A and B are shown apart, each in its own frame.
Chain A
Amino acid sequence: VTAGDVKRVLFGIEPIPREFLPIISSARRWIDIERQRSDFIPASHPEFFDRTLLEGDSLVAILGPRGSGKTTLLAALCRTIIEDGTDLVMPIIRPELFDGTDSLISIVLANFTALISETANTFRDSEPMKTSGKLPASELLAKANRSAALSTGAAISALLNSRESVGQYAVDSAVLLRERGGLGYALNRLFGELRTVGGKKTARAIVIPIDDADLVPGRMMQIFSDLRLLSSIPGVVPVICADRRDLHRNLVSDVIAQFGGRLDDEDVRVLVEQQIAKTVRPNRVLEPIQVARGDRLSFMPLGQPESLGDVLRRLTSAVENRGGRPFGLEQWLRDAEGVDPFIEPMGLDWLPETPRGLEHLWHVTADLADALSVAGARDNYGPQLRRFIEEATRKSPDVRMKLDVSDQLTGRGRRQLVANARWPRVSFGVTTIGGWRPVADTSTTRFLIRRVSHAIGNVELEHLPSEADSPNTKPLTRDSVAAAIVVQDLLASAMFAKPRPTSGAKLGVRNFAWLQATTIAGQRTDDIFVILPESSGFHIERALRAWNWLCGRATRYREDGSGTQGLVSDAVHAVATYWLTGDPKILASKRRPTIEQALELATDEYLRRVSNYDDAFETFEVDSAYCEWYEQSLPYSFHSCLLDDESLRSAIELWQAALSTSGRTRVAVSVLRDALSARVYGGQPRAPRGVKGSESIWTFGYKELAQNLSSELARHIAGFEKEFLERTGRGSFARDALEEGVEIENSSTRYAFRRIKTAEGREEEQLIRSVLEQLRP
């Protein structure tokens, strides 16, 4: 560290006091360490550093979840300010390390004490102080210290720890009592001097960085109060890092501790929100920059030679060498590389967003890959596997899994272990997709994956003979099989694989965004999406998978503007193969049957299958609810529209032919319309079951789907809607009947109304609304 450095880095004052060197050199070391970590922050980020941040009278808050890079950002911010050379940056304060008698103010003052004692000459001899006859900074500081000790209630302890005399304490107490706001006044004077020390004409800002300001339950109120006091002093800018949720939680606990039973929950919430709103201003909040989706695979922790993508690849081959088939991961890695993160983000969604999360995943993956690579008689990678599953499934939905392992003798006397992961029940939730909370206890080969809020059963594995009975048999422990299967199944069907016909039904938010944004016949689809793995064995799997696939195709067609011809073909194909035969292998074989062949499969078999689920929403059970929507309503739309009798076959062919050549769409749609109109307007639908509303839903469903495919097509279809609306308008028939027989009364002597909306109330409201929507197709 040279004197030039010192000048540039810190105050810009002359001469450079020797005492500065240790402080600056330690600051530089710290800065250099943080510099490496913060290199991923683009300097061009518009929010990153703006001098206006240091102006104004409120603190700067860096808010973000744990591991999101708040500390790194704080360090980078400090570095930038120091390099800018205008302002003074104090050492970072960490309230979690405070002693019992420490307060934020006392620590700030202690830092200044250290600074002043090491640079005594500079402060005492500075020009403004000499000429103005003001008190030297050290005296101002001592006064501020005493005021702080008195006002924070830690006066006695502080006194015992200080060199001040009892007499001085008494004098200060008297002054403090005489002058209201003594601490604020003392701090104002002190910081006023510090800002102009060294003869600077323009007062510098004093930046007080505070890391993890939220990690001090029991002291948050005091810290907030100190922060407000510091912020109110001109030129003093506290910069805090905090997790908004923890901040809130700790403040709540403080308020409750302070006021006990005198406040109800709502009062506490309001009080805390007011505190936060008053202290943290939205326009002075910085958020750590998230690692872009496209960059996550190439993330490389400091000092490591491999990227995250490389480590995942290593895991793939390790699982493969163990007899596992990690095709999902492989495929996923392949797909992810070509993914444009803005257009097709689904393949990268599961990766953590924060640097710390990525780093953790990197280590967990590397640990598992290493453990799997070790050749040994015993498989001993349970803990690594468990951590990997926990990490990799953190962001995926929650299902409880049953793992079945059995051994079979093959024709050649070879013993083969067969394992299947099955999901015995899936919660049909009104909640959105949450996170996996898996626990894999490999010592007893029990796997438990529970939904965050909805728990569903617990299954244990049967004991298996582990002895090999043939020299050709590869000895595999249960752990080994379980590991391969779990990794494979999770990777392939739940997390890594993009929606493909052969992967598990993944009717997820990510690939259905456009459909979710559309209300179809009053129903929103996003409240019933759950990822089902291939092995779930659900009879609804077919429809989910087909829809998943079909909608994925639709999105692609729509995005690349390649028209609807392919989709119509795909739709017919999917309906014919999945919904009607239920055989996923047909599509997997990639041999696309002709339209005629597909239509041959469109028999009443499908309708027969779904006819058992008439009372879907009546019972509110997961499978029937799925069926109502996916197996009945929507497929029925396609069935009714696209697949039925002879005339429709030719209509579809004509339609397709027309769509394939431009300019004939109108003719094609007109043919289709003629073929369908009889079913839409008159007569009964051909479906043998009396599903309520299905007839109405299909018109809407078809129209909405068409709208997403081609606006031109949608315009032509709109004709159907008009008449349909006229029919449904008959809801008004009941207006008079209801006016006579039903009345609304809003008052009640029994209902204990909540004073303001609560989370539970919102849930109830949402549930009622969703039920009502279902009843009103």
Chain B
Amino acid sequence: VPAPLQDRRIQLNPDLLWDLGFQSLTRAQVSDLLDEMYETLEFRVGMRLAEQMDDNQLATFERIVDGRDETKALDWLTRNFPHYREVVRDEFEHLKRTLRRAASLRKDLDTEALTTESSESSHLETGASE
């Protein structure tokens, strides 16, 4: 029996963005971005699952998805792709990694700009004295 789902649910919340280094957003911005992160996750997980299906599985799952029966779809996924939760988790981690790198790169560039600003000032002064 799988552990209670609630315990293992991934939460997309403002703290996630804060921890990733995005700390200047308004509530509305955060909310929009969380929605967009969710959509991205959905897209990537869907593509990964589809890539692993053969033609028959694709056709079957497409039918189930079109039928909008959530329980049936989850049953089918659990049976045929028992690792699908790992896929979700993997993609979530990938998303976080990528965002963290972007935030850190941005921070580095800002710091670098500041450093150069000051080194250039001294550079100019040297040039002037020469």
Q: A-side interface residues toward B, CB under 8 Å?
A: 427, 429-430, 439, 441, 443-444, 446, 448, 450-456, 458, 617-620, 727-728, 730-748, 750-758, 760-761, 763-765, 767-769, 771-772, 774-776
Q: Given A439-B120, A453-B109, A758-B24, are A746 and B14 neighbors across the interface (CB < 8 Å)?
A: yes
Number of interface residues of B (CB under 8 A): 74
Report Cα–Cα, A742/B112, bound state, in Å.
37
- Which DSSP category, helix, strand, loop or mixed, fits chain A's interface? mixed
Contact call B47/A455, Cβ cutoff below 8 A: no
Report Cα–Cα, A666/B5, bound state, in Å.
55
Mask: chain B, 55-99; 1 = CB below 8 Å from A; 0 = not: 000100110010000100110010000001101110010110011
Q: Give chain A nearest CB distance to B112 CB in angstroms.
A: 5
Query: In the complex, what residue of chain B is closest to A765 when comparing beta carbons?
Result: B29
Q: Give chain A nearest CB distance to B124 CB in angstroms.
A: 7
Contacts of A732 in B (CB 8 A): 42, 46, 65
Contact call B98/A617, Cβ cutoff below 8 A: yes
Contact of B101 among A444, A619, A739, A743 (CB under 8 A): A619
Contact call B130/A444, Cβ cutoff below 8 A: yes
Q: Given A743-B9, A753-B30, are A771 and B99 neighbors across the interface (CB < 8 Å)?
A: yes
Contacts of A446 in B (CB 8 A): 123
Contact call B112/A737, Cβ cutoff below 8 A: no
Contact call A753/B25, Cβ cutoff below 8 A: yes
Q: Give chain A nearest CB distance to B63 CB in angstroms.
A: 12
Q: Given A454-B113, A732-B46, A742-B12, are A618 and B98 neighbors across the interface (CB < 8 Å)?
A: yes
Contacts of A429 in B (CB 8 A): 109
Contacts of B123 in A (CB 8 A): 439, 441, 446, 448, 458
Q: Give chain B nearest CB distance to A727 CB in angstroms.
A: 8
Report Cα–Cα, A178/B91, bound state, in Å.
76
Report Cα–Cα, A738/B123, bound state, in Å.
55
Contact call B24/A761, Cβ cutoff below 8 A: yes
Report Cα–Cα, A430/B35, bound state, in Å.
22
Contact of B88 among A448, A738, A753, A756 (CB under 8 A): A738
Contacts of A754 in B (CB 8 A): 24-26
Q: Given A456-B112, A743-B12, are A734 and B127 neighbors across the interface (CB < 8 Å)?
A: no
Residue among A728, A754, A775 facing the most chain B CB atoms (10 A cut-off): A775
Contact call B38/A738, Cβ cutoff below 8 A: yes
Report Cα–Cα, A619/B105, bound state, in Å.
10
Query: In the complex, what residue of chain A is closest to B66 when comparing beta carbons?
Result: A732
Q: Given A745-B11, A746-B34, are A738 and B41 neighbors across the interface (CB < 8 Å)?
A: yes
Contacts of B124 in A (CB 8 A): 439, 441
Given A769-B36, A776-B40; 13 other pairs, CB 8 A cutoff: A430-B106, A727-B50, A731-B47, A734-B43, A737-B88, A739-B70, A744-B11, A745-B12, A745-B13, A767-B103, A771-B102, A775-B98, A776-B44
Contact call B45/A737, Cβ cutoff below 8 A: yes
Contact call A769/B27, Cβ cutoff below 8 A: no
Query: In the complex, what residue of chain B is closest to A726 when comparing beta carbons?
Result: B62
Report Cα–Cα, A441/B128, bound state, in Å.
9
Report Cα–Cα, A757/B29, bound state, in Å.
8
Q: Give chain A nearest CB distance to B108 CB in angstroms.
A: 10
Contacts of B46 in A (CB 8 A): 730-735
Contact call B115/A772, Cβ cutoff below 8 A: no
Report Cα–Cα, A744/B42, bound state, in Å.
13
Mask: chain B, 9-25; 1 = CB below 8 Å from A; 0 = not: 11111110110001111
Contacts of B36 in A (CB 8 A): 768-769, 772
A-B contact pairs, 7 of them (CB 8 A): A441-B127, A733-B49, A737-B74, A737-B88, A746-B13, A750-B18, A767-B22
Contacts of A619 in B (CB 8 A): 101
Contact of A742 among B43, B88, B116 (CB under 8 A): B88
Contacts of B50 in A (CB 8 A): 727, 730, 733
Q: B-side interface residues toward A, CB under 8 Å?
A: 5, 8-15, 17-18, 22-27, 29-31, 33-47, 49-50, 58, 61-62, 65, 70, 73-74, 77, 84-85, 87-89, 92, 94-95, 98-99, 101-103, 105-106, 109-110, 112-113, 115-117, 119-120, 123-124, 126-127, 130
Q: Given A619-B101, A742-B12, A743-B10, are A736 and B120 neighbors across the interface (CB < 8 Å)?
A: no
Report Cα–Cα, A775/B103, bound state, in Å.
15
Contacts of B47 in A (CB 8 A): 728, 730-731
Contact call B11/A455, Cβ cutoff below 8 A: no
Contacts of B127 in A (CB 8 A): 439, 441, 443-444
Contacts of A753 in B (CB 8 A): 14, 25-27, 30
Q: Given A441-B127, A772-B36, are A742 and B41 neighbors across the interface (CB < 8 Å)?
A: yes
Contacts of A620 in B (CB 8 A): 98, 101-102, 105
Report Cα–Cα, A756/B25, bound state, in Å.
8
Contact call A733/B88, Cβ cutoff below 8 A: no
Contact of B43 among A452, A756, A776 (CB under 8 A): A776
Report Cα–Cα, A751/B41, bound state, in Å.
22
Contact call B24/A744, Cβ cutoff below 8 A: no
Report Cα–Cα, A331/B45, bound state, in Å.
52
Q: Given A768-B22, A771-B98, A771-B99, are A751 and B30 neighbors across the interface (CB < 8 Å)?
A: yes
Q: Give chain A nearest CB distance to B54 CB in angstroms.
A: 13
Contacts of B39 in A (CB 8 A): 776
Contact call B13/A734, Cβ cutoff below 8 A: no
Contacts of B10 in A (CB 8 A): 741-743
Contact call B109/A736, Cβ cutoff below 8 A: no
Query: In the complex, what residue of chain A is closest to B81 when comparing beta carbons?
Result: A737
Contacts of B9 in A (CB 8 A): 741-743
Query: In the complex, what residue of chain B is closest to A621 when comparing beta carbons?
Result: B105
Q: Given A743-B12, A745-B13, are A731 and B24 neighbors across the interface (CB < 8 Å)?
A: no
Contact of A735 among B31, B65, B110, B126 (CB under 8 A): B65
Q: Give chain B nearest CB distance to A774 CB in angstroms.
A: 8
Contact call B43/A741, Cβ cutoff below 8 A: no
Query: In the complex, what residue of chain B is closest to A745 when comparing beta carbons?
Result: B13
Report Cα–Cα, A56/B115, bound state, in Å.
51
Q: Given A453-B109, A748-B15, A758-B24, are A738 and B42 neighbors across the interface (CB < 8 Å)?
A: yes
Q: Give chain B nearest CB distance to A458 CB in angstroms.
A: 7
Q: Given A730-B47, A734-B45, A734-B88, are A746 and B30 neighbors across the interface (CB < 8 Å)?
A: yes
Q: Given A764-B25, A767-B103, are A744 and B18 neighbors across the interface (CB < 8 Å)?
A: no
Contacts of B120 in A (CB 8 A): 439, 448, 450, 455
Contacts of B109 in A (CB 8 A): 427, 429, 453-454
Residue among B27, B35, B38, B94 facing the most chain A CB atoms (10 A cut-off): B27
Contacts of B126 in A (CB 8 A): 441
Report Cα–Cα, A747/B18, bound state, in Å.
12
Contact call A772/B38, Cβ cutoff below 8 A: no
Contacts of B94 in A (CB 8 A): 775
Ranked nearest first, the 8 interchain pairs of A and B with the lowest CB-CB distance are: A455-B116, A734-B45, A734-B46, A748-B14, A751-B14, A730-B50, A731-B46, A731-B43
